[in-house]
């Protein structure tokens, strides 16, 4: 996040800790749903377990403060989280999976939490700053249903996170999925895809399929929104059994297990393709003011144009753009062959114009030389904080739409 002169030193220290932690996280996936009870936590837990079984280092963070399920699904209910040297020690579920759930701080796990938004936001930030997570290939976040303070805190603090949206197939659930999709659009977080859970039931006696909650609605919504469909998970009694026993994962061969395996494969393959796409970027544009990364796009004086070949940094040139007029700079950068812009702050209108030109924009990038910024981007370790030109931080003077 961009620090201001009047920012509390405690907040600056927390920001730095979060920045250090996120610098060691390769991918963040936030599991979201429009409604409760659609299997979001079950899916987040199972995806985490499957990824950890594949050898990825996974951190699973339950930020559903009012209705945390992760502890119960993994048999951790009632177990306390320890603190060593001022760092919260996550539960180590297996060699590769670390879990933190707020339930680990409660004396009575059935005690309700009655907190307002700012307190919840503070707790979530603390769970990012003060946990001994170590380096992670995946940070999986189980967020509460809906589009409240908890997912908003993540979207603002981890803008590079991707949303995985879980739904059941019927229209009443899909109506709320559209709200989640609009939330992602408005907060500028990328959508990893939609998972359709409880999609049909294969009768164990007759082998026939029954679409109890209908089927295909999630897939159709994904197609309508032009986002990836990650797969369907059928209704499967072994999912309930595994969850109730606190072993989370569907162990024996079952319809849900093979569906989850396919979903995990699709997630890793899609991420790999995306990263390869980033490596194949032809040219990166970085707005500069006074020779440094410009924290407000509208104030930029020149652009560093960084050529990339086979994932390696080539020539870096500096060019002065034409005078700022709406749409002029995106068109000019497109002419220069730029397909990715790494910016500090940028207004939403400007981001939309870039997208329309097929240029990817990553906002909230923090200082450094153009070479360092481009190198971090290529290595997947680019540090990003809040977008100082977003409407959530209205105190800044920005020139939206440039």
Binding site residues, ligand ADP, CB under 6 A: 33, 36-42, 69, 197-198, 233, 235-236, 239-240, 243, 256
Nearer to ligand ADP by Cβ, of 198 and 304: the residue is 198
Nearer to ligand ADP by Cβ, of 233 and 350: the residue is 233
Strands 91-94 and 97-101: antiparallel
For the bound state, the minimum distance from the C-beta of residue 305 to ligand ADP, rounded and expressed in Å, comes to 46
Backbone angles phi, psi at 149, to 5 degrees: -60, -35
Nearer to ligand ADP by Cβ, of 104 and 298: the residue is 104
**Spatial separation of the C-alpha atoms in residues 159 and 402, rounded to whole Å:** 21
Torsion of CA 138, 143, 145, 147, to 10 degrees: -100
For the bound state, the minimum distance from the C-beta of residue 103 to ligand ADP, rounded and expressed in Å, comes to 14
Residue among 303, 311, 313, 288 at smallest CA distance from 367: 288
> Any idea what DSSP says for residue 198?
S
SS3 of residue 272 by DSSP: helix
For 5: left if phi > 0, alpha if psi spans -120 to 50, otherwise beta; the answer is: alpha
Strands 209-210 and 283-289: unpaired
For the bound state, the minimum distance from the C-beta of residue 239 to ligand ADP, rounded and expressed in Å, comes to 4
For the bound state, the minimum distance from the C-beta of residue 365 to ligand ADP, rounded and expressed in Å, comes to 33
For the bound state, the minimum distance from the C-beta of residue 45 to ligand ADP, rounded and expressed in Å, comes to 8
Nearer to ligand ADP by Cβ, of 136 and 198: the residue is 198
For the bound state, the minimum distance from the C-beta of residue 187 to ligand ADP, rounded and expressed in Å, comes to 20
Nearer to ligand ADP by Cβ, of 239 and 398: the residue is 239
Nearer to ligand ADP by Cβ, of 69 and 384: the residue is 69
Residues 16-22: contacts with CB under 8 Å, at least 24 apart: 17/128, 17/129, 17/130, 18/125, 18/128, 18/129, 18/157, 19/366, 19/383, 19/385, 21/128, 21/129, 21/131, 21/133, 22/128, 22/158, 22/383
SS3 of residue 195 by DSSP: strand
For the bound state, the minimum distance from the C-beta of residue 204 to ligand ADP, rounded and expressed in Å, comes to 13
Nearer to ligand ADP by Cβ, of 38 and 350: the residue is 38
Nearer to ligand ADP by Cβ, of 143 and 390: the residue is 143
For the bound state, the minimum distance from the C-beta of residue 70 to ligand ADP, rounded and expressed in Å, comes to 9
For the bound state, the minimum distance from the C-beta of residue 39 to ligand ADP, rounded and expressed in Å, comes to 3
Nearer to ligand ADP by Cβ, of 245 and 276: the residue is 245
**Spatial separation of the C-alpha atoms in residues 171 and 211, rounded to whole Å:** 14
**Spatial separation of the C-alpha atoms in residues 144 and 34, rounded to whole Å:** 9
**Spatial separation of the C-alpha atoms in residues 103 and 323, rounded to whole Å:** 55
């Amino acid at each position: 996040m961009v620090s201001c002169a009047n920012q509390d030193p405690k907040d600056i220290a927390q920001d730095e800790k979060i920045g250090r932690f996120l610098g060691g996280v390769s991918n963040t996936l936030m599991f979201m749903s429009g409604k409760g009870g659609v299997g979001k936590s079950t899916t987040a837990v199972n995806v985490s377990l499957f990824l950890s079984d594949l050898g990825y280092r996974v951190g699973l963070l339950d930020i559903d403060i009012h209705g945390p399920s992760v502890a119960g699904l993994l048999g951790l209910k009632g177990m306390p989280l320890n603190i060593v040297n001022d760092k919260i020690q996550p539960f180590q579920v297996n060699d590769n999976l670390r879990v933190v759930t707020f339930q680990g701080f409660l004396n009575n796990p059935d005690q309700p939490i009655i907190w307002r938004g700012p307190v919840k936001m503070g707790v979530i930030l603390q769970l990012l700053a003060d946990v001994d997570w170590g380096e992670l290939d995946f940070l999986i976040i189980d967020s509460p249903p809906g589009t409240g303070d908890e997912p908003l805190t993540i979207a603002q603090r981890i803008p590079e996170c991707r949303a995985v949206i879980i739904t059941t197939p019927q229209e009443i659930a899909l109506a709320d999925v559209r709200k989640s999709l609009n939330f992602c659009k408005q907060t500028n977080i990328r959508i990893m895809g939609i998972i359709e859970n409880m999609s049909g039931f294969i009768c164990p006696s007759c082998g026939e399929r029954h679409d109890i909650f209908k089927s295909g609605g999630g897939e159709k919504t994904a197609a309508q929104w032009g986002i990836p469909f990650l797969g369907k998970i059928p209704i499967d009694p072994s999912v309930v059994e595994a969850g109730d026993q606190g072993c989370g994962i569907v162990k024996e061969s079952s319809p849900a297990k093979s569906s989850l395996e396919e979903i995990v494969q699709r997630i890793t393959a899609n991420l790999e393709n995306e990263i390869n796409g980033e490596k194949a970027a032809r040219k990166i544009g970085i707005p500069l003011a006074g020779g440094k990364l410009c924290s407000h796009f509208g104030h930029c004086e020149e652009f560093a144009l960084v050529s990339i070949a086979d994932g390696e940094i080539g020539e870096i040139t500096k060019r002065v753009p034409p005078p700022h007029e709406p749409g002029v700079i995106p068109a000019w950068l497109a002419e220069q062959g730029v397909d990715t812009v790494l910016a500090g702050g940028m207004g939403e209108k400007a981001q939309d114009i870039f997208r329309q030109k097929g240029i990817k924009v990553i906002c909230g990038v923090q200082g450094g030389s153009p070479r360092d910024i481009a190198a971090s981007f290529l290595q997947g370790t680019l540090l990003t904080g809040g977008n100082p030109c977003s409407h959530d931080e209205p105190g800044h003077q920005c020139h939206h739409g440039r």
